[in-house]
Structure 1
Amino acid sequence: MSYTAMELVCWNVRGLNSPAKKKTLREFVDTVHVAIICILESKLERVDQFTIMQCLGPSYDGFTYLPASETRHGIIVGWDSSRVQLSNVAIDTNFLTGFVSPREGPTWWLSVVYGPQSDVQKIAFLEELVDRRALCPGPWLVIGDFNLILHASDKSNNRIDRRMMGMLKRFIDDCALKELFLHGRKFTWSNEREVPTLTKIDRAFVSVDWELDHPECLLQAMSTSASDHCPLFLALEEHLQPRRRFRFELFWTKLDGFLEAVKEAWVCDGEITNPFHRLDVLLRNAAKSLTAWGQRRAGNIKLQIACANLVILRFDCAVESRRLSEGERWLRATLKQLVLGLASLERTTARGRSRIRWLQEGDANTTMFHMIANGRKTKNFIPALSVQGQVITDQLGKEKAFFEEYKNLLGKDSAREHSIDLEFLNLTSVDLADQDLVFQEEEIWEVIKDMPADRAPGPDGFIRIFFHKA
């Protein structure tokens, strides 16, 4: 597929200091497939490429961050450079700003904010935003956790600081901004108590020219999942979901009936006699059958997480109009723990997935290789190829172009017009007859046994433990 659509997510995750939180965030990012991801309250003083790979994945090869102060605050912004670029980044006390350049469409400024707690700091924060706006003319989007409410209806009780409400309104007027309407939720934060306090402190403001450039944008609230803030999903255009490729899950071998499932799937048409073709057909049939078997046995973990988040969202909406019963509170808390548990299960296969080199066949995302680099997976995005002045963008066309290029590069066997007299050069003779010998089954098994259990020897997605067990 072509990722020309632009989406952005902003989420206060309340810290990324635990592996479960990082995996929950990774699952969320893989679900939404956005071009820009903004993470608030990371509580990380230092963010490197390894942290980005853990939390966001290989697609987000560009990132910037505002470091936390003594494990408090912190902002991370990651982007997929194949779809968008973020440049001219400026770091301020409580927010960061960058110039967004999509592959298609108009450019604009983005400010991601995480507002401070005290009133004095909030006033200074808004003044810094005004000063930054003066340095960044043009379309502008400001999104994040302001720690401020704009209207009295933005809080579920009457304990309201109207002075600070006025300061936020003054900032909006001075910068000529408009708030994007939030679909799906009335509030964005809860203190998670039996009688909760609910507020709308996560919001997005845009300038008039930004709204004119994106008249059909849609801002939606998503499930709070393992946080107490709901993510803000901003869609500028529609896009399709990419097709998922086959992955052999490490825990499948521990499930009852695994060997029987492999035996049933390991079938091939008897008319196919070419050994390479037979092996290819056998692996394809096994991949298809094991995928269906694994879903029946263990279920779709991502779907279970999505269902849990959907129910949590229902409770999030219900708590805004009534008090939850004891059973509902128990179910909501249980589902939040379930999300973390399912994320931990996914984490057990993350090592294997991150260390497999994949060659995606017909993948609509046009990603051709996942390369191994220091135990992390990096994805190269090839949007188009230029062959003899012709630009190729479709997947099949690019595959054919690569095949022809490497075929011409490797060449073919032909009679030599000239030869080299090695005896005249007095070079030491080396017997290379063993290089023409056929590989023995014992040699192949030794190579497979020496591989890590979660490493795949080829691009088909089958890791070593499959060949060892099956």
Structure 2
Amino acid sequence: MSWSVRGLNAPAKRSAVREVAEAHRATILCLQETKLETWTQAYVCDIGGLALEGCAVLPAIGTRGGAVILWNKNVVCVDTHAIGCYSITAKVSKTQGDDSFWLTTVYGPTDDTRKEDFLAEMVRAAPPMGEPWMINGDFNVIYEARDKNNLNLNRRLMGRFRAALDRAHLREIKCKNRRFTWTSECQDPTMVSIDKVFCNTEREALFPAHMLLAASTAYSDHCPPVLANSAAPRKRPIFKFESFWPRFPHFQEAVQRAWQRPVNHEYPITRLKVKMRRTAADLKIWARTLFSDAKAQFHLACEVMLRLDVAQERRSLTPTEFQLRRQLKQRLLGLAAIERARKRKASRISWLRAGDAKTAFFRLRSTPRGVKTTFTLCRPIQSLMSLMKTRQRLHTSTSATCLAPGSAELAL
């Protein structure tokens, strides 16, 4: 998944990126225009969560540019990576299997005077011949006239970009559901396809069943292209029990009503399965009445945003649709902030601060665990009885010596 996020300084924006990445179950997340000059472990946890722990960063210059690659260490591993002026190149390999490829994410400059250097760096990032390579990101330049919805084109830069792609032996992976990936956010917008994914023939032969689809723009003005295996089976949603539910009223009543309903089946295991399924369904309904479902509203707003983005490519939006799209972009950040606050409220450890997840937190939690797992050496009962008899004899002999005549002179 690749996304030009237009800055990650606000916690609500980081939460929104995390929600979108988790919804698409991203294994590798490439972000451009982060506008972060310094990165901390707290930023990685806010964006990647528990899944995306690996990180390679291209720092921003002040509040301009910047890029980052996050990956799931349980699925893929990055053997080596190189940081350029406009790009990050990494060698990615699967943890289970021998498949590996080169991955480059770029953020092209908006200044036309620096685009020549950007294209030259893109060509230099190409791996040796015969090795799979994929490049994605916000290029800020096009190579075809159909990638823009008007005729305000820079033909010279288009030719340079096309020549650079030919020298690097790259071909574009076409998006299946969107024509443009950026919009100027106005009533009569300028739309351009500048967020692209390219690969060479070796990378295309390595993963032939992959398909590129564009997700919703969410709060940004760029839509994120998502490259996924079209043949992969989708997982069914599972029930997740929140540990803080028993502290709220009417929880016990909801569980008791679901559990006491009769089940007409002769096998105990089947009756238990039905009761557990009924309890999970009733708890879902109970939780919806008690808590605001900000996460579902967030993804519903993203879906409506995607429908409006697709409609905007074919026709001009009505004033009502344009106003709705603008309000949804503002609402998305608020919903992401609410979901972030709910997760912190649901945590059983309220003193945990941002960035402590792998430092002070584990040291403080591991110390009492070590004490709990320390056991005193227990001796056999015969050894304890002999030890008690020996101590009793020593005590008796010492008392007799001290009470004997002349013992005081002997002691002196």
Shorter-chain TM band: 0.7 to 0.9
Tell me whether 193-202 or 102-111 shows the greater mean CA deviation.
Answer: 102-111
Equivalent of residue 349 in structure 1, options 314, 337, 342: 342
Asked if the contact 1:356–1:372 (Cα under 8 Å) also holds between the matched residues in 2, the reply is no
Matches within 5 A, 1:358-397: 373=358
Matches within 5 A, 1:34-433: 34-102=26-94, 103-104=96-97, 106-134=99-127, 138-236=131-229, 238-241=232-235, 243-248=237-242, 259-266=249-256, 289-298=282-291, 300-352=293-345, 373=358, 416=380, 419-420=383-384, 423=388
Number of corresponding residues:
357
1:129 and 1:263, CA in 2 relative to 1: closer, same or farther beyond 3 A?
same
Question: Aligned Cα RMSD in Å?
Answer: 3.4
Supply the distance in 2 between the matched residues of 1:28 and 1:144 (Cα, whole angstroms): 17
Q: Which protein has the bigger helix share?
A: 2
1:26 and 1:346, CA in 2 relative to 1: closer, same or farther beyond 3 A?
same
* SS in structure 2 of the partner of residue 14 of structure 1: coil
Tell me whether 259-268 or 193-202 shows the greater mean CA deviation.
Answer: 259-268
Report % sequence identity: 34
Supply the distance in 1 between the matched residues of 2:390 and 2:117 (Cα, whole angstroms): 80
Supply the distance in 2 between the matched residues of 1:222 and 1:130 (Cα, whole angstroms): 28
* SS in structure 2 of the partner of residue 142 of structure 1: strand
Could you give the per-residue CA deviations for residues 17-61 of structure 1, whole angstroms, max 9, x where no partner exists?
111111111111211111101111111112222111111101112
1:262 and 1:373, CA in 2 relative to 1: closer, same or farther beyond 3 A?
farther
Query: Which structure would you say has the larger Rg?
Result: 2
* SS in structure 2 of the partner of residue 235 of structure 1: strand
Tell me whether 334-343 or 154-163 shows the greater mean CA deviation.
Answer: 334-343
Deviation of 1:153 (Å): 1.0
Asked if the contact 2:28–2:72 (Cα under 8 Å) also holds between the matched residues in 1, the reply is yes
* Letter in structure 1 aligned against 2:234: L
Deviation of 1:104 (Å): 3.3
Partner of 2:25: 33
Deviation of 1:131 (Å): 1.5
Supply the distance in 1 between the matched residues of 2:348 and 2:236 (Cα, whole angstroms): 21
Deviation of 1:238 (Å): 1.5
TM-score normalized by the length of structure 2: 0.78
Supply the distance in 1 between the matched residues of 2:85 and 2:15 (Cα, whole angstroms): 28
Which residues of structure 1 form unaligned runs of 5+? 1-8, 270-281, 358-370, 378-408, 427-470
Could you give the per-residue CA deviations for residues 54-89 of structure 1, whole angstroms, max 9, x where no partner exists?
111011121111001101111111111110011210
Deviation of 1:290 (Å): 3.2
* Letter in structure 2 aligned against 1:42: T
Asked if the contact 2:81–2:90 (Cα under 8 Å) also holds between the matched residues in 1, the reply is yes
* Letter in structure 2 aligned against 1:168: F
Partner of 2:2: 10
1:72 and 1:424, CA in 2 relative to 1: closer, same or farther beyond 3 A?
farther
* Letter in structure 2 aligned against 1:186: R
1:51 and 1:182, CA in 2 relative to 1: closer, same or farther beyond 3 A?
same
1:418 and 1:153, CA in 2 relative to 1: closer, same or farther beyond 3 A?
farther
Asked if the contact 2:28–2:70 (Cα under 8 Å) also holds between the matched residues in 1, the reply is yes
Asked if the contact 1:188–1:201 (Cα under 8 Å) also holds between the matched residues in 2, the reply is yes
TM-score normalized by the length of structure 1: 0.69
Tell me whether 292-301 or 282-291 shows the greater mean CA deviation.
Answer: 282-291
